[in-house]
Amino acid sequence: MTKKKKEEYNEDCWLYILLLTTLVILLESLKRYTFHISGVYISFSIILLPLVYLLVNYIVKKNDYKKGIAAIAISSVMAVAFSATVSFALGERLILTNISGEFCGYIVSQLVNLTVYSFLLNNTKSPILLVYLNYLFSLVVFYMFYTLIYLNLIILDNFWTKYFITLVIQSVICIPITVIDKRIKRGYSKV
């Protein structure tokens, strides 16, 4: 590969990092909008969350692990900055637990996703079932940290119903995402 093509390819990564940051900010914006299923209200942001993991995996697959870490760091900092800016602009109180629960859940689940995904890329032929289970495991880790920090271990009446409905919806969404992931060819560098 010529040096010019390699430089263009590396610059391309920043577009995906910008897209990831935009999706994470959109997730933050959608968290207050809900729909009703089986007596519980579920946020619209659950629909986009698996796409965020796909985008980070795409960055890792096409570039390298370092670019994936940079993407996670930039998108998480921008999401916190967005939350603080919106709270200030709307004259609302900035509640630290609201931001810290999502921030910690996002960072830890993305790092788990990235580590397992990199292992699958480097040490296996990344079977579709393992990639799918990686997506689901990352979502479970996200909700675990989000619940521990944001809800401060307070279990609501319909918590488990909401939790399992959310995971079922996201497990269905992860099926086409896994198929898309498997069709993406690896980039020029190894992870």
Q: CATH number, domain at 126?
A: 1.10.1760
Residue 132 pLDDT:
95
pLDDT above 70: percentage of residues in the chain:
86
Q: Is residue 189 part of a domain?
A: no
Helix axis angle for 45-62 and 96-123, nearest 10°, is 40
- Give how far Cα 71 sits from Cα of 13, 18, 99, 132, 134, Å: 9, 8, 19, 21, 19
Q: DSSP class of residue 156?
A: P
Residue range 18-22: average pLDDT? Answer: 91
191 in any annotated domain? no
Query: Highest-confidence range of 16-20, 37-41, 174-178, 183-187, by mean pLDDT?
Result: 174-178
pLDDT tens digits, one per residue of 77-89: 998 899 888 888 8
Q: Is residue 155 part of a domain?
A: yes
Structural domain contains residue 190? no
Domain that residue 168 falls in: 3-183
| Residue 155: pLDDT band with limits 50, 70, 90 | low
Task: Place 34 in a pLDDT band, splitting at 50, 70 and 90.
Answer: confident
Is the residue at 58 inside a domain?
Answer: yes
pLDDT category of residue 113 using cuts at 50, 70 and 90: very high
- Residue 108 lies inside a defined structural domain of this protein: yes
CA 110/CA 79 separation, integer angstroms:
14
pTM of the model: 0.85
Q: Which residue has the higher pLDDT, 142 or 153?
A: 142
- The band of 190, judged by pLDDT with boundaries at 50, 70 and 90, is very low
Could you give the number of structural domains in the chain? Answer: 1
